[in-house]
Structure 1
Amino acid sequence: MKKRVISTLLVGAMVFSLAGCGTKQEAEPEAPAPAETTEKADGDAAAEETADIAWPEKTINIICPFSAGGDTDFNARIYAEKLTEILGVNCIVTNVTGNGGATGAQQVFDSEPDGNTVLFYHDALYVNNVTGATEFGMDGFELACVAGKNAGNVVCVSAKSEYETLEDLVEASKNGNVTFASNVGATTHVMGAMMNAAGANFNLVDMGNASDRIAALMGGQCDAIPNPLGTTQQYLDSGDFRALCLLEDERNEHYPDIPTAKELGYDASFPIYYFFAFPDGTDQAIVDKFADACEQVSNMKEIQQAQFESFSQSPFFAKGEEAIALEKEQQASVEALRDMLNQ
């Protein structure tokens, strides 16, 4: 049954591409104040106005800056399928790869702000900016929403490795002989820099994307990798890889035996949030209508099940000021490592 749900979602999403947390209910106050009543009325009016805008009328092109098959592409495609149903126009995913995600981001940045092109990316946007791959961060876009969060990046070594613990790996790195695979200019570059700032001395070597890093570890070309939990779970379950830590603030509920780096005394945590963003200057009514549609998708049980089964993700969604504040915090974390990222 689980395979059927995932297969249906992905096949549907690919068809559209080729053609071009649970929320707690709050009890209502017994006697709402007049100001609260007015605010609610204003909100209803704004929602009606947003729903009435003459958009969309054309295909919406969702640019994913990474290749097909990864976690970012997966999330983009399952959203695209359901957004097509909700918005009434084809929503297709186009993979525009290169330069650690900067090429795809640049394409959306250069697009007309007409609501027909939207970026589906994550916090590598800020790494691109800090390392000079782009001249913009979120200031070059209109953030629609944060549409998900990956399950966390786990630092893995081969099961044959001499390093049994994170402390073993860090201590060995102080002699300069530990190769830590990362994608220079992307989020794993930040993670390696964070570990070095926390006391390690890893040799940060660019070994490509998540799949490339797995192949490198399997082939003995590196000592450790920081990969999304969803891409490494099969190797952890099979016993090919050994997990040393999770680079998150809290343990993953589905892999509770993997400690966080923070628990082990290393201040290194960088959660990855997926977001939708339109070119700067896009009508706010379009941005809001799209965000509302995305929220509907996020609350769908079949979407949540597919995310969990494929990449161990738990539901996550934020829009408006909450999303903006979250992304500002992510940007600040990257900017604090500017010097290390540009070494």
Structure 2
Amino acid sequence: MTTSVTRRLALGLVAGAALFATAASAQDFPNRIIKMVVPYPAGGPTDVIARIVAEEMGKDLGQNVIVENLAGASGAVGTRAVAKAEPDGYTIVFGNNQTHGNNMFLLKEPGYDAVKDFAPLAGAGAFEHVFVVRNDLPAKTIPELIEIAKKDPGKLNYGSTGVGSGSHLATELFMTRTGTKMTHVPFRGAAPLVTEIMAGRIDVSNSTLPSVLSQFQAGQMRAIGIASPQRNPQAPDVPTLREQGITDADAESWAAFFAPVNTPKPVLDKLSGTIIAILNKPDVKERITKLGFTLNVRDPEAFKPYLAKEIQTWAEIIKAASIKAE
């Protein structure tokens, strides 16, 4: 047998062994704890939804799925950690339009590529935004808020869940459309922002509905307008921006599950199939919908073009608001 033939046989055996190992590892997957990273503080709506899904994944996969909160840098800290994690399916992330879209335009060095470094597992849906104000702010409607903001530009402050977050960009879009100016106060997630609104130290926020739903229902702040085409069934008394004369300032913040890009396809398929099945369970749908989150489950192939379109949309919003990278 010639040396070249021997070499080809050896290479074939190595390749076959690698394929067998991949298939075997996928078949055995998971055989230890899976970590789901939430790149925001505990207690916010993203965290709550992640914990619902993680709990169900643990039941369906027969292994614990733990949620780890790695907040910081507008979600980039936790997202970067997952991008650099071993691509074996044991580390995944619950990301959104900020971590896997806006950060590419708003952070000079996010430390990862939102498209090239990740494989989508499932699109979950979107958070609609709702304008809330502190209880003692004399604005019960969007036109009244605009009037107050225009009387003294920059005096009102508005809180967001971080530079480049949906709540930040959606408010910048609103100010561009209405000719108003308010001062931005970014927070590291929804929980501290909500606390400051209730304490009366933040005037207004265009927050995701799940992050403020229970608080305005309890009278701890006032909801004055929802930035979506229709009213939300969880907050039927809150009129839309369109109903109040603002027709071009709607925005939503999507959320989705991702794994590192080089994760073996059989593992990706197993994770994806499990998450999609969980999001379609009637009891899970009910629990998540009650939070104010609008479910719109997409498999990876359906999510990829949606992701590309959303990145383009938010890039245009960033440009329109003249927001510079930091």
Query: What amino acid is aligned across from residue 121 of structure 2 in structure 1?
Result: A
Helix, strand or coil at the partner of 2:230: coil
Structure 1: tracts of 5 or more residues without a match: 1-48
Query: What amino acid is aligned across from residue 196 of structure 1 in structure 2?
Result: M
* Matching residue within 271, 288, 312 for 2:292: 312
Aligned length: 293
Q: Deviation at 1:275?
A: 1.0
Percent identity among equivalent residues? 24
Q: What's 1:257 paired with?
A: 237
Q: Deviation at 1:278?
A: 0.8
Is the 8 Å Cα contact of residues 114 and 282 (structure 1) preserved in structure 2? yes
Structure 2: tracts of 5 or more residues without a match: 1-22
Distance in 2 between the 1:208 and 1:119 partners?
Answer: 17
Helix, strand or coil at the partner of 1:337: helix
Question: TM-score, with normalisation over the residues of structure 1?
Answer: 0.78
Helix, strand or coil at the partner of 2:252: coil
Distance in 1 between the 2:206 and 2:147 partners?
Answer: 17
Q: Aligned pair 1:170/2:170, yes or no?
A: no
CA shift in 2, pair 1:249/1:53, >3 Å: farther
Q: Deviation at 1:268?
A: 1.8
Query: What amino acid is aligned across from residue 306 of structure 2 in structure 1?
Result: L
Query: What amino acid is aligned across from residue 141 of structure 1 in structure 2?
Result: F
Helix, strand or coil at the partner of 1:66: coil
* Matching residue within 162, 169, 174 for 1:190: 169
* Matching residue within 223, 235, 258 for 2:215: 235
* Matching residue within 85, 94, 98 for 2:59: 85
Is the 8 Å Cα contact of residues 209 and 293 (structure 2) preserved in structure 1? no
* Matching residue within 286, 294, 299 for 2:275: 294
Distance in 2 between the 1:69 and 1:307 partners?
Answer: 14
Query: What amino acid is aligned across from residue 246 of structure 1 in structure 2?
Result: I
* Matching residue within 176, 179, 201 for 1:221: 201
RMSD value over aligned CA atoms?
2.4
Q: How does 1:110-149 map to 2 (within 5 A)?
A: 110-125=84-99, 126-132=101-107, 134=110, 135-149=112-126
Q: Aligned pair 1:107/2:81, yes or no?
A: yes
Is the 8 Å Cα contact of residues 245 and 260 (structure 1) preserved in structure 2? yes
Query: What amino acid is aligned across from residue 194 of structure 1 in structure 2?
Result: L
Q: Deviation at 1:187?
A: 1.9
Q: Deviation at 1:75?
A: 1.3
Is the 8 Å Cα contact of residues 127 and 190 (structure 1) preserved in structure 2? no
**For structure 1, which segment, 77-86 or 235-244, has the greater mean C-alpha deviation from structure 2 after superposition?**
235-244
Query: What amino acid is aligned across from residue 95 of structure 2 in structure 1?
Result: Y
Q: What's 1:246 paired with?
A: 226
Q: Aligned pair 1:60/2:42, yes or no?
A: no
Q: Deviation at 1:144?
A: 1.0
Deviations 1:55-94 (A, max 9, x none): 3333221111112222111111111122122223222211
Q: Deviation at 1:208?
A: 4.1
Query: What amino acid is aligned across from residue 216 of structure 1 in structure 2?
Result: E
Query: What amino acid is aligned across from residue 188 of structure 1 in structure 2?
Result: S
Q: What's 1:180 paired with?
A: 158
Is the 8 Å Cα contact of residues 65 and 98 (structure 1) preserved in structure 2? yes
Q: What's 1:341 paired with?
A: 323
Distance in 2 between the 1:277 and 1:92 partners?
Answer: 15
CA shift in 2, pair 1:338/1:254, >3 Å: closer
Question: TM-score, with normalisation over the residues of structure 2?
Answer: 0.81
